[in-house]
Amino acid sequence: MIETFALDWLQQREPADHAARPEGLVPVLRDALPEPGSTAIRVTDLGSGSGSNLRYLAPRLPRPQHWRLVDHDRGLLAQTRAPCGGVEIERKRCDLAAEPARALTGDEALVTGAALLDLVSRDWLQRLLSVCFTQGAAVLFALSYDGRIRWSRPHPLDADVEAWVNRHQRSDKGFGPALGPIAAATCAEQLEALGYQVQIRPSDWWIGAEQAVLGAALIEGWVGAASEVCPQRAGDLRAWGDARARALASGTVELTVGHQDVLGWR
């Protein structure tokens, strides 16, 4: 089983993703990378999708850069373009699930990924990070969902929805039992145990009326996930979703979705 992600969804979330990312991690990452020179800094982006992580990071890092974009989805990879001068891209179609290191070339200065870690298992992550450590690569995993779905005004079903969504998050997404909400914390622990220096920063989404389209898509996904976990409450969940989407669109409620970014360097 492989998780697929629609291009529409990735395009909807990109502005919220970029707004949420902690700028404070960028100078720390820059210092961890080799001095810019004639040789390109080599970056591998795991689960690159249509290139959102590339579009955020490449303009913020020294150039020249060579990005290897890895995903199993040929259609998403075909959407990727170099976002600025001095950046070369290479697309690699690959199922990452079986062996994480398969996607690496061994000479990366940075191994990165965005909105990926919550899909993977503890064992998969451990194997990936061990290889990164051995080859001396810095590691940056952005936008891992951390289990917080917080509304500015409460609804009686909010806590149940959060719990059911979070239980669904732990189900297998093709990499073994998914880390879901504990992905970033687990990554930070594993990095520290290997001997990396680590920073972990919040990258929460804030969603108000102006982001109501993204909010409606999220709510729809949560209603589906929670209904799988608790089918006997599917009717209540549908009513909750309709009420929450209306309230978000009219500006009577705002939503925070917890995410974390983790940077490891040697």
Ligand X SMILES: C[S@@+](CC[C@H](N)C(=O)[O-])C[C@H]1O[C@@H](n2cnc3c(N)ncnc32)[C@H](O)[C@@H]1O
**Chain residues in the site for ligand X (CB under 6 A):** 2-3, 5, 10, 17, 47-49, 52-53, 71-73, 76, 95-97, 114-116, 119, 174
Q: Which of 78, 1, 90 is nearest to 43 (CA)?
A: 90
Cβ proximity to ligand X: between 157 and 219 the closer is 219
Least separation in angstroms between CB 157 and ligand X: 25
Least separation in angstroms between CB 208 and ligand X: 21
Cβ proximity to ligand X: between 47 and 253 the closer is 47
Cβ proximity to ligand X: between 120 and 253 the closer is 120
Least separation in angstroms between CB 88 and ligand X: 19
Least separation in angstroms between CB 243 and ligand X: 27
Cβ proximity to ligand X: between 101 and 230 the closer is 101
Strand-pairing partners, residue 206, are 256
Preceding peptide of 64 cis, ω within 30°: yes
Cβ proximity to ligand X: between 2 and 159 the closer is 2
Cβ proximity to ligand X: between 95 and 192 the closer is 95
Least separation in angstroms between CB 94 and ligand X: 6
Least separation in angstroms between CB 263 and ligand X: 16
Cβ proximity to ligand X: between 114 and 248 the closer is 114
* Amino acid present at 14: E
Measured CA to CA, the distance from residue 49 to residue 71 in angstroms comes to 6
Least separation in angstroms between CB 235 and ligand X: 29
